[in-house]
Amino acid sequence: MSPPALGTTLVFGGSGFLGAQVVAEALARGGRVVAASRAPAGAPKHSGGSEPVRVQADALHEGEWEALLEEERPARVVLCTALSRGADCEAYPALARTLNAELPRRVASWCARSGARLVHVSTDLVFGATPPPPAGFREDSPTGPMSIYGESKAAGERAALEACAHALVVRLPLLYGDSGGRGLGASDSLLAAIARGEQPICFQDEARTPLEVRSAAAALVELAEGDARGVLHVAGSERVTRFELALEVLRAAGYDELEARSLVRAGSRKDLGLEQVRPADVSLDSQRARGLLATRLPGVREGLAGMRI
């Protein structure tokens, strides 16, 4: 007997750093996958001969995403699209609100009407105004963003959950890992900068719980096939500073300790006048997720060990 049809998984933002990995993971698990993005032509190819249906869909065109949802009638929607660069959000706050807050409401409203499963990707940067508990911020910790990006993502969380009672908001941390040669994410962007002859500044006073991007994607797809709702934290098992993460990436890339420390500069948010918009510590407590998921959420060394750098 053949396995039951999984139905269609629609990934908004399917050509991005995270979205491309979500698409790959969904393909590996079977079923039909639609990857929607503003510029699908730039998406990386997938191994194994299986490719998603790629669709160009602009979130800023009124009704375009709703028309795609009506046409595809997906069983599951994973919403990765966002204006995620902090500088872009500060420069274009109205655009940040449109993409990060209004768009989740529109998609969640459709999912509520259709009964489709919605997993909406959010961020650890909805926190930061206050220090975290010793184990990191929990799902029920009060949010306190310090930036327009964090504010708009917190608004998007509320909008999605208000519009769709069975939606799941997944807060992710800083992500690193293979970006298919595109220089995206915390590790590939660092290595690309060094390859250009730069000496990046990495903060010693900014702590996160980073997660390898394939693990994040696998968790999102697993959760999309489940029934958890509300808010869930999915992060790595270690709290590290940006400087410590950089050194681990360089060690994994084959540099010795002396070389690694010569390639990056240790700095502080205060040195660059960023302490008012970049939080000191937004570490997440992922204990609940670890109890729900078969997917492992590794620490930095384990996550880097499984990568090709």
What percent of the chain has pLDDT above 90?
84
Mean pLDDT of 202-220: 97
Q: How confident is the model at residue 201 (pLDDT cuts 50, 70, 90)?
A: very high
**Residue 244 domain-assigned (yes or no):** no
Amino acid (1-letter code) at residue 178: D
Q: What is the mean pLDDT of residues 236-252?
A: 97
Q: What span, in angstroms and rounded, lies between the C-alpha atoms of 232 and 156?
A: 15
Residue 242 falls inside a structural domain: no
In a domain? residue 99: yes
**Domain residue limits at 97:** 8-177+211-237+283-298
Confirm whether 115 is domain-assigned.
Answer: yes
Judge whether residue 172 has pLDDT over 60: yes
Q: What is the rounded radius of gyration, in angstroms, for the C-alpha atoms of the chain? A: 19
* Residue 262 in domain: no
Calpha distance 97→89 (Å, rounded): 9
* pLDDT per residue as tens digits for the range 50-79: 788 999 988 888 889 999 999 999 999 999
> Mean pLDDT across the chain, nearest whole number?
93
> Is 304 within a domain?
no
1 has pLDDT over 70:
no
Question: Please, what's the b/e burial string for 128-156 (b: 16 or more CB within 10 A of its CB; e: otherwise)?
Answer: beeebeeebbebebebbbbbbbbbbbbbb
pLDDT at 163 over 50: yes
pLDDT, one tens digit per residue, over 3-25 is 345 799 999 999 999 999 999 99
Measured distance CA(143)–CA(214) in Å, rounded: 27
DSSP state, residue 55: E
Q: Give the E-state strand segments of 17-64 in sequence order.
A: 32-37, 53-56
- Residue 142's domain is classified under what CATH number? 3.40.50.720
Residue 266 lies in a domain: no
Model confidence pLDDT, tens digit, residues 74-131? 999 999 999 999 999 999 999 999 999 999 999 999 999 999 999 999 999 999 999 9
Torsion of CA 80, 274, 133, 172, to 10 degrees: 10
Q: Confidence band (pLDDT; 50, 70, 90) for 245?
A: very high
Q: Are 245 and 206 in contact (CB under 8 A)?
A: no
Assess if residue 32 is contained within a domain: yes
Average pLDDT over residues 131-140: 96
Q: pLDDT, tens digit, for every residue of 225-238?
A: 999 999 999 999 99
**pLDDT value at residue 4:** 40
Confidence (pLDDT) at 43: 60
Specify the pLDDT at position 259: 95
User: The tokens of 55 are what?
Assistant: 């669709």
Give me the number of domains the chain comprises: 1
Write down the pLDDT at residue 306: 76
Token pair belonging to 270: 């205060």
Which pLDDT score is estimated for 41?
A: 58
Average pLDDT over residues 126-144: 97
